Structure 1
Amino acid sequence: MAAYAALLSLRHIIEQLQHHPRPPICLDQNQVQSLTDNLNFLQEFLEQGYPCVGSGKEAIGVFESRIADAAHAAEDLIETRVVDQILAESTAQASKDITETWVGDQILGGSRKTKNSRMQDRLRRILSTFCGAGSSRSPSTRQNVVAGLDLDKVIQDMGLIKKDVMEIKEKNIGIIEDHLHINSSTLAGAASSRSHLTTRRDAVVGLDELLIEVMDKLTGQQSNLRIIPIVGMGGIGKTTLAKNAYLKFMKHFDIRAWVTVSQNYNVREILIEILLCINKAESRETLSAKSEGELGVRVHQSLWGRRYLIVMDDIWSVEVWDKVQIFFPDNGQGSRVMITTRLSNVASIGSHGVVMGFLNEDKSWDLLCRSVFKEEKDCSPELEEIGKKIAKNCEGLPLSIVVIGGHLAKSKRTREHWEYISENIKKIVNSEDDERCLKVLQLSYNHLPVHLKPCFLYMGVFPEDKKIRVSWLVKLWVSEGFVKPINGKSLDVVSREYLQELCDRNMILVHERGSYGNIKFCKIHDLLRELCLREAEREEFLYVKRPHELTIPQGINTQRRIGIHQRMSEKDYHPYPVLRTLQDVPLVRSLICNFEERLPLLDFRLLRVLKVDDNLLIDNIIQYEYFVEVVFRLVNLRFIAIRSDVPISSVFPSFNLLWNLQTLVVNGGWDVVAPCEIWNMTQLKHVHFDVLELPDPPIGGKDDEFILGNLQTLTDIRNFKCEEEVVKRIPNINKLQISYFVEPQGFLSYRVDNLGHLHKLESLRFYIYSLKMRSVNDMVQNFILPNSLKKLTLMGTCLKWEDMKLKIGLLPNLQVLKLEKESFVGHKWETIEGQFCNLKVLLISLCRDLQWWTTDNNHFPRLEHLHLQGLHKLKEIPSCIGEISTLQSIQLLRCSDEAVISAKQILKEQEDFGNVDLRLVHQ
């Protein structure tokens, strides 16, 4: 929600200013204390999530809006002061430099005068953008949003909100208690209608295999009580599956009960529903008069000695199960309890669970046909092609398919109409049956803990149908200020925990895992993304331009986060071009765009996040260089991800102005030399360039000066000097990619033995580009790696296979080893026992001399994936590799025929032993 995100963001700003080694401004401590007290109270209020109803619920919504407005106002005031202070100091220094240069030009004259004049003009234009001189808008016009505001006034407003919240909490305490302890006849009647189960079976098209699996679990020979969780995303068909299995085997069980569990569950109501199902003669009024303990005893006694089946539909927490399962006896009669849930952690309460995924294209088409034509006839050939496209566009979600099928069943069956449906599926799904689909998914959002809601809503900023790189996502969440600090954990670690929680709740889908099990790419279903966009728009949390919108609404000037992902040509949208509209968004903090035209010079003074996916080449190089210079004067930026097709080293003089920069990603084919000021950028966490050279750190300074203690990622660094003075300044580096290029003096000046001092390093990519074998040997003979390494990629190191035993094999935490072109040389690799104890992935590529590999199955006790590429001389793969119990796949690409034959023999042997899970891929 916007209010909670605003409070967290404001707290981050205050803490960063207080703990920054070079804060651009100092806050009054009385103001800080007052702000912090109000923040603590309001944050706790939102985290408790009072379930007020009626007027209380409306009041909470009003307070959330007031909280967000007040937090945003404080944020605007503080950050405006920061930006003004930094730019004022920078302008004074720049003006001094221009004056000195002008004087020098008058003395030297000639071409230098002309060249420096152009530079002066460009610098003046940039300065005017940020400081008002020569701008089409005066400073007062640009800053009218924060003009007249005062931080003390904002603090007073937050104090009034706090006071009003305290009053409404006191007034609504009775409503809250009633909501948490359901005992009224109205609510009881509602529970009864929810739990009523018709005897009509719903269509299970596409779920046949899962239905068979569930039925096997229900009627298996095991006599002990079995818990059968059915887990999946909202609308995936969990209830339909459970209902059909329940109705099919009603006669198999002596006692049956179906209970739908609400989000705000109540143990007493659950027990009453079970008793009403068991004995139709029971009176709800009589049962409601009994205590929870008495009801539990009645349930236990009724089930004892009988074979029973209980379905608890739509459970939202493990706590529900913990409180009711004690009343279900394990009486050795073959009883079963089925649970449907959207939460993966709830599914862990049973060892016989069923995980439901999306339907494939064939099953989606079958379900659509059943929904449209019922038992009438098959689809006509004229409609089949477009019908399959409609089914595919529903993305495998049964609820969406059924809704579209119902719409098609009631409408005319012409190709023209079905083509219209195909192009407007989301629009129809979101409006059909009073937004039935979104209402189902809305429950999942409503039940999210408050700390996950901003992170989920932010998923709407990414383009539709695109996989999302997790490493980007978690950095963006941190830069946006969504992540609440937890003692002993970095914000990046907490951010990944948030992601896992959302995946466990089936709100975000795992698309691809990395080489050692981490989530590498994720996705979000289109309907859930639509939910994100609707909620984000309602709460004024995020604006994303939709494809059908020809213009951006006028209210965008108050937006703080903007996402745009399609063609923005002015000729297409004249007279309201998108780019022109973006020139007046003074409060924007995040801009995530994919432009087909160059992002113009815009005044985003308070911008924190800039992610511009701009892959077009540029004819006017000066224009793009101008854009990059502007980016590096947006002093409030925390996250930069841009592309530069020209050298950008010339813009680095303003680099040290980015006082709070955390992530810097610049893609492009140019070598970049970082400025010396990079060693002062203490907030830097992640730095990526295609090729970057680091300067030597400054000499001298205090003990904690020129140390990048927050730096975790550094890629791709050219000719990295591993001198002790450099290594000790990046003590917490986690991921490092370095490349060395041949030099006349060789590589002796690079002390790669000091890599062993990077005790937090988990991922290392080490490349050498050289034709001089001797120079390489001189460099790597003292190659030392830290024990913390989990992933290692080598190329061009020309190590001998014997070196593996001392330099790599003993690394205790190594899980992924990639040996690329000429990383190792020699004809024979012989492994020994006691090494590679945790290795899961082994890749050997283009180690051209390798002919013989001698090993044993216990030399790689945890190996899961073996990839061999370009090994033209390899005689065979050791047969004992197939005996590794954890091995899942062997992949060969452009390897010798002998290697392929031995791999096929390994596969056959394992199949003969009953191991049918091993996969072999060869090309």
Structure 2
Amino acid sequence: MAVAAYASLVSLTHVLDNIHYRAQLRRLHVDIKQIESLQEAVNFLLEFLEKNHRSQSQKAEDLWKQISEVNFEIEEIFDLHVVSQLRKDSQGESSDMGARSFGEDLDTMIQKVDRIKRELSMVEEVVVGSRASVPAAGSSTAASSVGKNIIVGLEEHVTKIKGELARDNGNLQIIPIVGMGGIGKTTLAKKVYEDKYAVDRFDVRIWITISQEYSVNEILQGLINNGKVERHCGNSDGPGEMLRKKLYGRRYLIVMDDIWTLQAWDDLRRFFPDNGNGSRIIVTTRLSQVAGSLGSHDPYPMTFLDTNTSWSLFCQTVFGEENCSHPELEQIGRVIVKNCRGLPLQIAVIGGLLAKSCMTTEYWESVAENVSSFGNSSDGEHCLNILLLSYNNLPIYLKPCFLYMRSFREDAEIDVSYLIRVWVDQGFITIKEDKSLEELAKEYVNDLLDRNLLFVRDREFGTEEILSCGIHDLLRDLCISESKKENFLCTPREQEISPQSEERVCFLCSVSVTETRNFLALDVIPPSASHCSPPVCGHCKMTYSHMKGLRFVKVMDKDGVAHDSLVQHTKLRYVYVSMHNPPKFISPSTLHLLWNLQSMKFKKSEVVVLPSEIWELPQLRVIECNYVVFPKPPNAHVEEKDFFILKNLQLLGCAKNLEFTCEILDGIPNLKELWIKYDKHMRESDSCLNNLSQLQKLEVLSVKNTLQNIGYPNSLKRLALRKCRIPWSGMSMVGSLPNLEILVLWDTAEGSEWNPTEGEFLRLRLLAIAGSDLEHWGADQDHYPVLENLVLSNLPSLEEIPSGVGDIATLHKIILRNCSKSAVDSACLILEEQRSVGNDILEIDVSDNSDYEFEDEDEDED
């Protein structure tokens, strides 16, 4: 219960911070001294748990449970009283009586917390007591392994599978790879799939992962869209026929990763045409029976690593090199490796644990003792115990984040930016003065990657920044089992609002609901005269069975009609609206009653008009949709102006036709990411883009469809300009930005000649130019001294790429799409010259298709 208690305490610190901020600015009637007393007590409990969370005593477990229950009760009291006060204030009613009741309830809570503090002094601080526990690891001395794809012992397997791809048999062949979870099936398939031979040989390559609970249509959509599930509207063909047409007559390689049943294969096989040209399908599975029934090829078995290969993988994981760099640890290290039984996942996870250790003999011996204790277990139990050992030794601040991974579906590709956002929204990240919550959450992601508890799925071209990650099925199972033990995730904080239909969906998780009875006694705050309680699914009934009730609000349209499809509860922190045309917010609205809201996302929606009450949500960190009309701050008295500041807002996108007055920018001072779009009516108007230089923490800026002068803050790291019509001479202002790393110019730069000046673009790593009349480019290695990737698209007039560009020592890749023949010839000449001087790093990628995507390609009306 320690993790649940810790997570609830961290969440409570954010709630208390919100309460304290509102009270200081007199937007909430509460005794600040009471709040500060609670803050002090909560910080004490956090520090105690950080030091003693490994205690094994029953007394400690009972107290952890009490902490969780009291924290939940405190958050419930806050929600009750804060919402009540906000509602009365908006209606012009007095909240004096409520304030007195609020104070009395807080006194009761403070007494309960103090009682727990007194009992904690009786808890034995047992950190090392049971046989299955290991002392906490110290700081790592090994190099970070984030992003390192450590492939050891697969060379022979790769060669054999490549041989099967190249066989003379032209018929469609199915190649099953079989082995237990964690043995390296997916890693092998990925290595073959990405091999240059496969890339050159096959016209179409598609990777798709099959989960235990699969949908045939979703798999087919994924195969059509090269692994991404997207819906195709307006096509009379079903997805199966669309796939058949896509593959017909072409040599294709498809990897179907992690098939669990023969039925999954039977449901799909008829859609793969046998073109008689050497097409291949690689299937990975844990089940020998499934592998043996696929027909055309004997299953390829994955076996355990031998002793030498296991040791090599272990050293690469722990030390970042092939051998043990700490001779005093080699003997005990070999004992640890032996007891991992040659299973790559176990070696990688234990290696990740030890890479984070202080590299002492005592610590390694304690790990070896525990690994050895699992020696007589079955393979499944042995593997689980190994993984549990690594989980148990996580710092407690990482455990809630790791356990949250259970909420993603099996085999999911998890967007890292979303993962960071949802950890922040859930309240898992501890507040620190020197770093933002997002920065800390990013460090947590990297830490879990370092420990091999997560793995990298995709990286951003040009920066190698991690875009998406995944979690192995066995580790996800561990998250599920440990979450149940911990009673983790006990308060609903996210909500997805889906399109209205005849089918009823769960109010809390948006899955289909077959029964209409509710388990929650919902305390309705009525924005309209009529209301009904929303439905809740059976899973949520069990998950949140301890809850007595929720308060909820409804969004009303311009006619004053409350929409049941847009019900939101007042404890909500993240709302995701996937309706195409949601009702527009109006003022006065009930939005401010969602007083802890942190993220709002509207997917594929039309214009979202936000009410002025948005300025009453100081916790808000993200507003994201296709177009959002952002209101001006309300007129306020001098003493109230400080409250109407979205001090935590990090991302705003995409703002449509917004006039960036100093007044608005003063209200979003800490914004880090901004996307702006203008329509044809606003393109030439003065919307104050020159004022953007006022945003001194802005790191990412995307501007589309404007002819205005833009003020660039020096903090910018990424800049994307589309249809902004800036002469090449105006690029000097961009080049002078001291922190700029990525620049994308799409139908923006005008003129036939660009002569950059030395001393500009000193940190630029990626330069992408698309759609320009550029003919002469006077550049060399001094103009972009650290450039790593150059992308040129739709430049039909460009005479050549300056030869001096090839002399940039850091340059890795030049991509040309639909450029002039002379530009392509110059790129090839650059490559030849660099090869002649021993530069084997530079690559040239040329194509006549304009298939390189810089950003979302939705078209504006010009």
Q: Is the 8 A contact 1:608 1:639 kept in 2?
A: no
Deviation at residue 80 of structure 1 after TM alignment: 2.8
Aligned equivalent of 1:2: 4
Aligned equivalent of 1:70: 70
Aligned equivalent of 2:43: 40
Deviation at residue 259 of structure 1 after TM alignment: 0.8
Aligned equivalent of 1:18: 20
**Which structure ranks higher in relative contact order (CA pairs < 8 Å, sequence separation ≥ 6)?**
2
Say which SS state the counterpart of residue 316 (structure 1) adopts. helix
Aligned equivalent of 1:723: 661
Change (3 A) 1:520 1:11: same
Aligned equivalent of 1:121: none
Aligned equivalent of 1:109: none
AA in 2 matched with 1:164: E
AA in 1 matched with 2:749: F
Alignment of 1:278-317 (within 5 A): 316=354
C-alpha distance in structure 2 between counterparts of 1:689 and 1:742, whole Å: 20
AA in 1 matched with 2:604: G
Aligned equivalent of 2:701: 764
Q: Is the 8 A contact 1:740 1:767 kept in 2?
A: yes
Alignment of 1:777-816 (within 5 A): 779-780=708-709, 783-805=710-732, 807-816=733-742
Deviation at residue 624 of structure 1 after TM alignment: 12
Alignment of 1:150-189 (within 5 A): 154-169=109-124
C-alpha distance in structure 2 between counterparts of 1:788 and 1:443, whole Å: 43
C-alpha distance in structure 2 between counterparts of 1:609 and 1:572, whole Å: 16
C-alpha distance in structure 2 between counterparts of 1:27 and 1:572, whole Å: 38
C-alpha distance in structure 2 between counterparts of 1:650 and 1:165, whole Å: 48
Aligned equivalent of 1:492: 438
Return the match for 2:646 from 708, 716, 736: 708
Structure 2 residue 579 is the aligned partner of structure 1 residue 644:
yes
Structure 2 residue 457 is the aligned partner of structure 1 residue 530:
no
Deviation at residue 164 of structure 1 after TM alignment: 3.4
AA in 2 matched with 1:763: V
Say which SS state the counterpart of residue 836 (structure 1) adopts. coil
C-alpha distance in structure 2 between counterparts of 1:527 and 1:605, whole Å: 35
* 41-50 or 451-460: bigger deviation: 41-50
C-alpha distance in structure 2 between counterparts of 1:855 and 1:609, whole Å: 60
Structure 2: give runs of 5+ residues left out of the alignment. 94-103, 137-151, 159-180, 185-303, 315-321, 337-349, 369-374, 524-533, 542-546, 848-862
Say which SS state the counterpart of residue 659 (structure 1) adopts. coil
C-alpha distance in structure 2 between counterparts of 1:177 and 1:59, whole Å: 19
Change (3 A) 1:44 1:750: closer
Q: Is the 8 A contact 1:314 1:341 kept in 2?
A: no
C-alpha distance in structure 2 between counterparts of 1:601 and 1:50, whole Å: 34
C-alpha distance in structure 2 between counterparts of 1:786 and 1:256, whole Å: 51
Q: Is the 8 A contact 2:552 2:567 kept in 1?
A: no
Say which SS state the counterpart of residue 747 (structure 1) adopts. coil
AA in 2 matched with 1:825: E
AA in 2 matched with 1:81: H
Structure 1: give runs of 5+ residues left out of the alignment. 94-148, 183-203, 211-232, 264-311, 326-337, 343-402, 404-430, 543-557, 589-598, 611-620, 770-775
Q: Is the 8 A contact 1:513 1:520 kept in 2?
A: yes
Aligned equivalent of 1:874: 798
Structure 2 residue 701 is the aligned partner of structure 1 residue 754:
no
Deviation at residue 625 of structure 1 after TM alignment: 7.7
Deviation at residue 815 of structure 1 after TM alignment: 0.4
Alignment of 1:455-854 (within 5 A): 455-514=401-460, 515-542=462-489, 560=492, 578=513, 580=515, 583-585=518-520, 626-627=563-564, 629-631=566-568, 634-650=569-585, 653-699=589-635, 701-702=637-638, 703-743=641-681, 747-768=684-705, 776=707, 779-780=708-709, 783-805=710-732, 807-821=733-747, 823-847=748-772, 849-854=773-778
C-alpha distance in structure 2 between counterparts of 1:254 and 1:480, whole Å: 44
Deviation at residue 571 of structure 1 after TM alignment: 11
Change (3 A) 1:561 1:754: closer
Say which SS state the counterpart of residue 510 (structure 1) adopts. strand
C-alpha distance in structure 1 between counterparts of 2:552 and 2:182, whole Å: 32
Change (3 A) 1:757 1:11: closer
Q: Is the 8 A contact 1:50 1:176 kept in 2?
A: no
Alignment of 1:388-407 (within 5 A): none
C-alpha distance in structure 1 between counterparts of 2:796 and 2:402, whole Å: 49
AA in 1 matched with 2:759: G
Say which SS state the counterpart of residue 501 (structure 1) adopts. helix
C-alpha distance in structure 2 between counterparts of 1:61 and 1:723, whole Å: 54
Change (3 A) 1:740 1:560: closer
AA in 1 matched with 2:703: F
Deviation at residue 864 of structure 1 after TM alignment: 0.6
Say which SS state the counterpart of residue 790 (structure 2) adopts. strand
For residues 68-126 of structure 1, give each alpha carbon's deviation from its aligned partner in whole angstroms, at most 9, with x where no partner exists.
22222222233233334445666889xxxxxxxxxxxxxxxxxxxxxxxxxxxxxxxxx
Change (3 A) 1:498 1:526: same
C-alpha distance in structure 1 between counterparts of 2:329 and 2:11, whole Å: 51
C-alpha distance in structure 2 between counterparts of 1:490 and 1:174, whole Å: 34
C-alpha distance in structure 1 between counterparts of 2:552 and 2:476, whole Å: 21
Deviation at residue 32 of structure 1 after TM alignment: 4.0
For residues 265-293 of structure 1, give each alpha carbon's deviation from its aligned partner in whole angstroms, at most 9, with x where no partner exists.
xxxxxxxxxxxxxxxxxxxxxxxxxxxxx
TM score, norm. by length of structure 2: 0.63
Q: Is the 8 A contact 1:49 1:450 kept in 2?
A: no
Deviation at residue 741 of structure 1 after TM alignment: 2.0
For residues 4-33 of structure 1, give each alpha carbon's deviation from its aligned partner in whole angstroms, at most 9, with x where no partner exists.
101112222222211126677544567546
Identity across aligned pairs (percent)?
A: 33
AA in 2 matched with 1:532: C
Change (3 A) 1:255 1:561: closer
Say which SS state the counterpart of residue 15 (structure 1) adopts. helix
Aligned length: 622
C-alpha distance in structure 2 between counterparts of 1:884 and 1:152, whole Å: 67
Say which SS state the counterpart of residue 741 (structure 1) adopts. coil
Deviation at residue 837 of structure 1 after TM alignment: 0.6
C-alpha distance in structure 2 between counterparts of 1:256 and 1:322, whole Å: 8
